[in-house]
Copies of this chain bind each other. A is one copy, B any other.
């Protein structure tokens, strides 16, 4: 049950974030739905691939499609006065998707008895897959690779699951909310990690 709810949250959140990016990039109405669907189900397909579920299992989730389509339609018809805040909303839904899918990836790897390092990598790759597909298709550098703190929170999700700190449904929901909240805080207050540049040092 927890698993299904995380799937729904992750898929719908990525669908909305893809739709918002498509509107920012001035795609037509169908481009908005397409980028939303590709982000949501591309992210889900990468998750399925990485955790060993057949990708074609996606088609069984008819309800999920309808929720995602409905959510994108609401976003498309959103009142215009909210528009200046949409980049923030895009990041908000991306954070929900990241958190939900990262926890799923970590849960899968932990259940299979993989070592902690594999659980963490599974969390990062599963959580960031949807956003990577969205950003590549929109011609942007993937959010996970740009200068904000992003993957750290997926690592945290992997760590919490990997050390067994989130074994009950209620703890998983709390972990989901913590990870999403930390991601939201990190772009709101523009937290950064140190970077080491070849160019800067070479010059």
Residues of chain A from 43 to 97 with CB closer than 8 A to chain B in the complex: 45, 49-52, 54-56, 58-62, 65-66, 69, 76, 80, 83-84, 86
In the bound complex, CA of A120 to CA of B26 (Å): 24
Instruction: For the complex formed, measure the closest distance between the CB of A51 and the CB atoms of chain B, giving whole angstroms.
Output: 6
Of listed A31, A54, A86, residue having the most chain B CB within 10 A: A31
Question: Is A160 an interface residue, CB under 8 A from the partner?
Answer: no
Q: How many residues of A contact B (CB 8 A)?
A: 75
Closest Cβ–Cβ distance, residue A14 to chain B (whole Å): 14
- Dominant secondary structure at the A interface: helix
- Asked if B29 and A66 sit within 8 Å, CB to CB, the answer is no
Find chain B residues with CB under 8 A from A62 CB.
Answer: 114-115, 117-118
Q: Please pick, from B31, B49, B114, the residue contacting A55 in the complex, using a CB distance under 8 A.
A: B49
B22 & A145 in contact (Cβ 8 Å cutoff): yes
Given contacts A49-B55, A136-B136, contact A196 B32 (CB under 8 A): yes
Of B25, B30, B45, B52, the contact of A50 (CB 8 Å cutoff): B45
| Minimum-distance CB pairs A-B, first 4 | A52-B56, A28-B195, A62-B115, A26-B197
User: Which A positions have Cβ atoms within 8 angstroms of B?
Assistant: 22-32, 34-35, 37-38, 41, 45, 49-52, 54-56, 58-62, 65-66, 69, 76, 80, 83-84, 86, 108-109, 112, 114-115, 117-118, 121-122, 124-125, 128, 132, 136-139, 141-142, 144-147, 149-152, 192-202
